[in-house]
Amino acid sequence: MSGHLSKDPNIDLYVFNRSNRVTKRWLKDFNGLEFELSKDSKNKFNGLITCLKDDSSIVEVLIKNNFIGLLKSNAFVIDHSTTSLQLIQNISSNKKFISNNISFFDAPVSGGEVGAINGTLSIMYGGPNKKISIIESIMQSYSNKITKIGPSGHGQLTKMVNQLCIAGLLQGLSEGVALGKSSNLNMTKVLEAISGGAAQSWQMDNRFKSMVDNKFDFGFAVDLMIKDLKIALEQANLNNLDLKTTKSVLKNYKKLSHDKNGDLDTSSLVKLFNV
């Protein structure tokens, strides 16, 4: 994502990763400057874009490492992480955010590793009705669909819906692949036959063949999905919803993780059928 952003000549881009090795590798391929807390902490920036794995990572970077203090008054933060609603409340109510009038946008993404590499992510975001033209022009560098859902938190709520839909779909796809392989069907012809009908989906187009071939190194990991589904189920509980399918899929993902498969991509659900 930052690689696509680095191609914009109108942006002075500084990059930071908690692993310095990752930053150094990025700088070999793209144009930008390495941000160093010890050297650049006196700089003030117009905006900050974050994409981290969970709530605690966001708190570490924004609060503990004081990245909030690096922002100018009236600056913005675009957070592409998938987080809880409580995290958004904690950040938005932070005294430095309020006193410096910083706009926070929760903007989770969908499209996986392929979408990030190709700059074709789908972004769902929530936040205030200001700076929209600025942040959308930035996000266009690495996405092909940007939708403002509503106020703060609505981006994350939409991502919860997204993850629930993906999880249920992958469970069904896994069961279909398992039945086909155990019946000795020609799975190439099966895909040809069903991918143009009502069963078609992004997951089928992009994961069916790799699931048949038992290849699961394609981005979004099982352990991250476990985190996301837990967040969604917590919200469902607050809404008095009993999401039985999601609970079942989460149990299956936990089994994969327990069996040391937490780094595999989410289509690895099919491994549980041993076909």
- Domain CATH number, residue 267: 1.10.1040.10
> Which pLDDT does position 219 carry in this prediction?
81
| 110 and 176 inside one domain | no
pLDDT digits (tens, 9 = 90+) for 88-140: 999 888 888 999 999 999 999 999 888 999 999 999 999 999 999 999 999 99
How far apart are alpha carbons 107 and 127 in whole angstroms? 9
| 169 and 134 inside one domain | no
Range of 237's domain? Answer: 157-273
| 58 and 165 inside one domain | no
User: Which region among 13-22, 39-48, 212-221, 228-237 has the lowest average model confidence (pLDDT)?
Assistant: 39-48
> Which pLDDT does position 239 carry in this prediction?
96
Half-sphere exposure of 113 (CA within 13 A, CB side): 11
pLDDT digits (tens, 9 = 90+) for 146-163: 999 999 999 999 999 999
Angle separating helix axes 85-92 and 154-182, nearest 10 degrees: 160
Domain CATH code at residue 98: 3.40.50.720
| 40 and 111 inside one domain | yes
| 174 and 148 inside one domain | no
> Which pLDDT does position 89 carry in this prediction?
92
Which pLDDT band holds residue 16 (cuts at 50, 70, 90)? very high
> Which pLDDT does position 41 carry in this prediction?
67
| 67 and 112 inside one domain | yes
> Which pLDDT does position 40 carry in this prediction?
64
Which pLDDT band holds residue 44 (cuts at 50, 70, 90)? confident
pLDDT digits (tens, 9 = 90+) for 169-198: 999 999 999 999 999 999 999 999 999 999
Catalytic residue among 159, 215, 247, 255: 159
From 152, 170, 194, the end of a domain falls on 152
> Which pLDDT does position 39 carry in this prediction?
66
pLDDT over 90, % of the chain: 85
pLDDT digits (tens, 9 = 90+) for 200-219: 999 999 999 999 999 999 88
Region 14-27: mean pLDDT is: 91
Amino acid at 35: F
| 140 and 164 inside one domain | no
The mean of the pLDDT values for the chain is: 94
From 97, 125, 152, the end of a domain falls on 152
| 148 and 163 inside one domain | no
Tell me the β-bridge partners of 48: 77
| 89 and 168 inside one domain | no
From 121, 152, 183, the end of a domain falls on 152
| 59 and 192 inside one domain | no
In 102-161, beta strands by DSSP E: 103-106, 109-110, 121-126, 143-150
| 166 and 255 inside one domain | yes
Q: 159 catalytic, yes or no?
A: yes
> Which pLDDT does position 42 carry in this prediction?
72
Count of domains for the chain: 2
